[in-house]
Structure 1
Amino acid sequence: GVHPDHHAFWVSATDPSFIIEGNDGGMSITRDKGQTWRFVENLPVAQFYHINVDNEFPYNVMGGMQDNGSWVGPGYVLRSGGIRNSYWQEVAFGDGFDVSPDPDNSRYGYAMSQGGSISTFDKETGNSSSIKPRHPDPDVFLRYNWDAAFAQSPHDASTIYYGSQYLHKSTNKGMSWEVISPDLTTNDPEKQKQMVSGGLTYDATQAENHTTIVSIGVSPVEEGILWVGTDDGNIQLSRDGGVSWTEVGSRVNDVAEKSWVHQLKPSPFNAAEVVAVYDDHRQNNWEPYVYRSRDWGRSWQRLVDENDVYGFALSYIQDPTEENLEFIGTEFGLYVSIDDGASWTKWTQGYPTASTMDLAIQEREADLVIGTFGRSAWVLDDIRPLRTLASEGASVLDEAVRVFPTPTAYQASNIQAEGTRFKADAIYAGQNRGAGARITYAVNPDAYSLESTEENDTDEEKAEAPDEVKIEILENGEVIRTFDGPAKKGLNRTGWSMDRKGVRGPSRTAPRKNAPEPRGAAVLPGTYLVRVTYGDTSSETPITIESDPRYEVDLLALKERQAMYAEYEKMIVAAEKMMSRVREAKEIVSTVNASLGDRDDETSKELKKHGKTITDSLSTFQDLYFGEQGKQGIYRDPNTIGSKVGGARGAIFSSKRPPNTPEQWAMSHARLALENMLADVNGFLSGDWTEYVSEVTASDAFRIDALDGVEIENE
């Protein structure tokens, strides 16, 4: 069916059967006046209230949507075809709010819906249990906000907190609760008339519950420190686990009265520090209010105003690794500070101007995960470069080149997308993380320099800054891989395929000038060094490569395959030399014929005739290795020498298990075929070609040399 909460309706003026309908679940289209509807799957317009992450591999993003349930889905996938809608799982329905994984096992977790409803979920079975707190006094009405406050203890996996007008605490994952506070709101009865009609209807959804707790902050630094914010402006602090409470919100200056304390974020570094995000847009006040206290709420400093950010503030997070790095989300975008909140910059690279409701950081992978209201969920991959800027200052960007700390890269297996491989355009697929090891660096062309060999070079004569950097991968001081990367001013990101330098294979034509280095075998798990060079300036950082953590990898088997690949490369080197000899000989014959021009004396005629015979023989060798040319359509001959040699490479890279008969036989067949062809080519070079060289030399028409034979290296 179609989601029942309708908000927009359009009927075609020329075809009344054509109707588009918008609702809390998205958009639907009918072409038969509503008899049947098609849900539009490729519009990422989810309205998230909250966002969270777990620590699975790959990790999951989770959050609740406006009247569209609570969802869990991958932050990235080890699949082809992008992040599909079908990879997301609904774990609860209703108006979704906080979704939180169980730290003991993220198969389980907690999900909320309106009016204080909260339940546990099991992603595998769908089993769910309501754990909504009750009050021991039956006469006490618990005022849960439409978007009630929830918090998971960072000190105990079984402890969670929940807010009505009181703070509730469970130490057994919601099986039982205790009230650990008095009423922490203003308890103003004039704000508690939600069951009284405003002239049309009374509130049937608890969306108008007021004087409620809307934010809970649990200090990760010191157990027992609790911060609570309400929708009527209170900020309450307990330093003894809820035994006693102090209202400190009244000490915040210049904030609009009755503003909601939308978020409270305790510092991951300082037990006395907290950041409060106030939201007063419900009174048509779009001014941003974000305040910080570093002395248990005794005093507060404003972090932003309307001159720093645009739109009312909705979210805040401090990086758990670098305290100078902070993010703020507003109704109109994402802002970042690298100087402890002294200045703020709007983040526009790849991120829209959108209602930025909530922020989370996946700590293992240093990803900033963003929940928006209307533009779905976003991931800013790998904020380590921002950590460096926050730690060392923006002057890092003045350097000619600086490579930043790299995330751990995994040699992970990848599978095909579920369902349709060729999705066309109607199936939505979120942008997936790029494959390979990520390398991020900053480039400043204005600081580019290249040491000159002339002492008196003028500035005008200096080399122009290139648009590429050189990237080298080193193992124990030895360069094992070299490739180029972009060199745009500012931050650049590229990838390394976690492979070594390979050897160039045979080709009918000579490799082009400045052809990229060929790829070789995958490196073994371990730590390597990345060196990025721009002009005469280089910057280095280590990079760690690990095996796929989802299954056990046989390191000995990988080493055996690498040894086998080294033998394969010896065959490729020989094959490339052999076919280069063939190509060189054809070029020599062509040059000789060109030098003879239109001469028609008998010697020249004989040389041209002999040259054609030689060329035909050389072309036969090329066809034997590469296959015949001129065939219609796609033509792949499995009997060519190139196919047999290439088949050995495919066998070596087909698995991570110890190599056995398939690989051994593929190598044996390839070597035998190549050795037979080498014998034929070498015989040709020592026979027919030598004879041709002698004939050309004797004619005094041209001077050419003999060509040496080729062997497969055995050492």
Structure 2
Amino acid sequence: SQDISPWPVSTFGVPMSQRKYRFTWTSPLVFDRVDQHALYLGAQMVLRTRDGGLHWEAISPDLTGAGAAGAGAGPTAAADTGPTIVANAAARGYGVVYTIAPSPRAAGLLWVGSDDGLIHRSSDGGGHWRNVTPQGLPAWSTISLIEASPFDTAVAYAAVDRHRVDDFAPYIYRTRDAGAHWTRADQGIGPQAYVQAVRADPERRGLLYAGTETGVYVSFDDGDHWQSLQLNLPVASVRDLAVHGRDLIAATHGRSFWVLDDLTPLRQLGDSALRAPVYLFTLAPAVRLRRSVSNDTPLPSEEPHGTNPPAGAVIDYLLRSVPPGAISLEIRDARGGLVRRFSSDDRPTPPAEPPQIADAWLPRIEPPTRNVGLNRFVWDLRYPPPPAARYGYSIAAIAGQGTVAEPQGPLVLPGAYEVRLGVEGQTYTRPLRVALDPRVKVADSALVAQLRLGLDIWNAMAEQHALVGSLRAARDEIRGLAGRSLDGATRESVAAFGRLTDSLARGLGDAGDELASLETAVESADREPTKQARDVCSGLREEVTGAVRRWQRVVADELPALNRRLGRQGAPVVHVREPAADRRTGPW
């Protein structure tokens, strides 16, 4: 890295009035929002470079009260040797540019605020400046941040912080006429929550966010009214905010960065949503991401760690009251085929065997909620897990989120889908677009081939699982005949039938485990399946199909004879449940 300071000479200990440039601890350094080669730096004036700091030029005079007072000039300043106080700070050369706000709509349109309470505006890249300080704003009111409107060059918002002069009240000023007039716009913010930052949403006009000494606030009416947006954010000094795509990022003092994922509901929130008994928000595009596959031992719960954003489709809906029954969410593909269904009554299935890992690492099953107000559900962009007798747990557990049960269902293809919310017999629908991870470069045909093979494995597992269930049910009935008085031939027929069910079930159990491992292998990356994976799938499908046919022959030919024998001796006959396997098809 290179030091590109405008004047690379230490000024430590140098009297303020003798310094070439005055800086604060956090001097503003910002790129122009239109001319991306222009970089601005705040001192007591605004400096600009167009060549990465090789050359700097001053594009403004001193824009602080010190400039207006003629800092360091005349015998009065020289004779003033007392302590620095508010009354003489400007004359002694204190005051710096504290915020620079280039307009996102016009090149060269700059708003500049100082830490001693002045706001200036230039519409020609610093050629001419106009003092547009709000009338009556006391000196040393720090203009902590100015936000130039993303919609209108005449509109700007100024966050004013006066806590250094023992005034902890919140101050936000708004102008709609290029600074000729300003209006206070901070009603609803806590009385002690002095404001550090104000930001305008770039998608919805009038949607504002404020970072204060105690947290975050939101306004839906251009600052006329504010309400808390604290949610689970700790009470902390929020020094700045940034809207990045669909997310709101908060920079706190001492409590790290925090991100509010997906601002879509806030951008759509209005009378139509608030008055409706049920409102399903328009869905933002979902990026087809794979979760972490780090196979290191997961972090212990007490280890400080961040949280990843939700990987999948974020589905937000409002409920004015708690529905009396369950609600459902369905995902349909472009042909109307059911991809996934969730219910608020869904409950996690306990593991078949006690897991040998900490409970904190187990998968987190979070069904759709039906709370009054905003509800959020995240679909992982997968088909449901294939039916299996047991699931394994990946060591790739994410701190705070747990791991996944394997095998998982295949990832869906990029493309168009539909979300259907069912509440009290009514269905609410929204389109959803799933986009490919932009980092992945793969042909559509490869992903289609992967999904075809994944669903072939899924259906083979479903067939195997259904058959095993039928075999076990028959075996249980056979065991129930153990206490019956039967003749030797009948008892041998019963024993032979039991041995047959046991043999088929054992073989199918091995096939199920191998299919489960194969599903995980096929889904390990966004790539066309290997030939060997196809070959293994073909062999296992034949094995399952063969067992199904063998069982069908037994049920058709051998079971009736056994039941006739049992009937003649007054014993209950053996009932066989017809294997009913669920099947999944892709969008083709």
TM tier, smaller: 0.7 to 0.9
1:492 to 375, 380, 383: 375
Q: Give me the identity figure in percent.
A: 26
Cα distance 1:526–1:196, how it changes in 2: closer, same or farther (>3 A)? farther
For 2:330, what is the secondary structure of its paired residue?
strand
The alignment status of 1:656 with 2:526, answered yes or no, reads yes
Deviations 1:636-656 (A, max 9, x none): xxxx23233334423432443
State how 1:573-592 maps to structure 2 within 5 Å: 573-589=462-478
Q: Distance in 1 between matches of 2:581 and 2:117?
A: 84
For 2:216, what is the secondary structure of its paired residue?
strand
Provide the residue aligned with 2:14 in structure 1. none
CA displacement at 1:322 relative to structure 2 = 0.5
State how 1:29-108 maps to structure 2 within 5 Å: none
The alignment status of 1:479 with 2:338, answered yes or no, reads yes
The alignment status of 1:436 with 2:308, answered yes or no, reads no
1:665 to 535, 547, 550: 535
Provide the residue aligned with 1:409 in structure 2. 286
Cα distance 1:502–1:228, how it changes in 2: closer, same or farther (>3 A)? closer
Deviations 1:371-390 (A, max 9, x none): 1112111111111101111x
CA displacement at 1:370 relative to structure 2 = 0.4
Contact 1:148 1:163 in 2 (8 A): yes
Cα distance 1:155–1:679, how it changes in 2: closer, same or farther (>3 A)? same
Provide the residue aligned with 1:25 in structure 2. none
Q: Distance in 2 between matches of 1:544 and 1:587?
A: 48
Contact 1:506 1:572 in 2 (8 A): no
Q: Distance in 1 between matches of 2:294 and 2:478?
A: 52
For 2:469, what is the secondary structure of its paired residue?
helix
Cα distance 1:646–1:213, how it changes in 2: closer, same or farther (>3 A)? closer
For 1:183, what is the secondary structure of its paired residue?
coil
State how 1:116-155 maps to structure 2 within 5 Å: 127-132=1-6, 141-155=20-34
Unaligned stretches of 5+ residues in structure 1: 1-126, 201-207, 449-463, 509-517, 627-639
Provide the residue aligned with 1:622 in structure 2. 505
1:383 to 248, 263, 271: 263
For 2:3, what is the secondary structure of its paired residue?
strand
Deviations 1:393-425 (A, max 9, x none): 3x523433222233332223444559x633325
Contact 1:547 1:553 in 2 (8 A): no
Deviations 1:292-342 (A, max 9, x none): 000011111101157655421111111010012111111111111122222
- Structure with bigger strand share is 1
Deviations 1:665-684 (A, max 9, x none): 21133134334434543454
What one-letter code is carried by the residue in structure 2 that aligns with 1:489?
V
State how 1:256-295 maps to structure 2 within 5 Å: 256-295=138-177
Contact 1:527 1:545 in 2 (8 A): yes
1:230 to 114, 120, 131: 114
2:96 to 212, 216, 225: 212
CA displacement at 1:352 relative to structure 2 = 1.4
Cα distance 1:559–1:212, how it changes in 2: closer, same or farther (>3 A)? same
Provide the residue aligned with 1:564 in structure 2. 453
Cα distance 1:536–1:683, how it changes in 2: closer, same or farther (>3 A)? closer
Cα distance 1:402–1:606, how it changes in 2: closer, same or farther (>3 A)? farther
Q: Distance in 2 between matches of 1:307 and 1:533?
A: 37
Q: Distance in 2 between matches of 1:609 and 1:416?
A: 53
The alignment status of 1:322 with 2:204, answered yes or no, reads yes
For 1:128, what is the secondary structure of its paired residue?
coil
Contact 1:287 1:305 in 2 (8 A): no
Contact 1:309 1:346 in 2 (8 A): no
Provide the residue aligned with 2:350 in structure 1. none
Contact 1:693 1:706 in 2 (8 A): no
Name the TM-score, length of structure 1 as normaliser: 0.66
Deviations 1:27-86 (A, max 9, x none): xxxxxxxxxxxxxxxxxxxxxxxxxxxxxxxxxxxxxxxxxxxxxxxxxxxxxxxxxxxx
The alignment status of 1:554 with 2:554, answered yes or no, reads no
Contact 2:511 2:540 in 1 (8 A): yes
Provide the residue aligned with 2:562 in structure 1. 692
2:57 to 154, 165, 178: 178
2:253 to 366, 369, 373: 373
Cα distance 1:648–1:522, how it changes in 2: closer, same or farther (>3 A)? same
Name the TM-score, length of structure 2 as normaliser: 0.80
What one-letter code is carried by the residue in structure 1 that aligns with 2:98?
V
The alignment status of 1:525 with 2:414, answered yes or no, reads yes
For 1:545, what is the secondary structure of its paired residue?
strand
2:240 to 358, 363, 366: 358
For 2:446, what is the secondary structure of its paired residue?
helix
Query: Which segment drifts farther, 610-619 or 666-675?
Result: 610-619
Contact 1:325 1:337 in 2 (8 A): yes
CA displacement at 1:284 relative to structure 2 = 1.1
CA displacement at 1:153 relative to structure 2 = 0.4
For 1:158, what is the secondary structure of its paired residue?
coil
Cα distance 1:700–1:425, how it changes in 2: closer, same or farther (>3 A)? closer
What one-letter code is carried by the residue in structure 2 that aligns with 1:543?
L
Residue correspondences, number: 527
For 1:154, what is the secondary structure of its paired residue?
coil
For 2:154, what is the secondary structure of its paired residue?
coil
Contact 2:6 2:56 in 1 (8 A): no
The alignment status of 1:165 with 2:44, answered yes or no, reads yes
CA displacement at 1:361 relative to structure 2 = 0.7
Query: Which segment drifts farther, 557-566 or 335-344?
Result: 557-566
Q: Distance in 1 between matches of 2:259 and 2:578?
A: 58
1:245 to 108, 122, 129: 129
Deviations 1:141-178 (A, max 9, x none): 22223322222101121111112222112222322222
Provide the residue aligned with 1:336 in structure 2. 218
Deviations 1:91-111 (A, max 9, x none): xxxxxxxxxxxxxxxxxxxxx
2:195 to 307, 313, 318: 313
Query: Which segment drifts farther, 476-485 or 185-194?
Result: 185-194
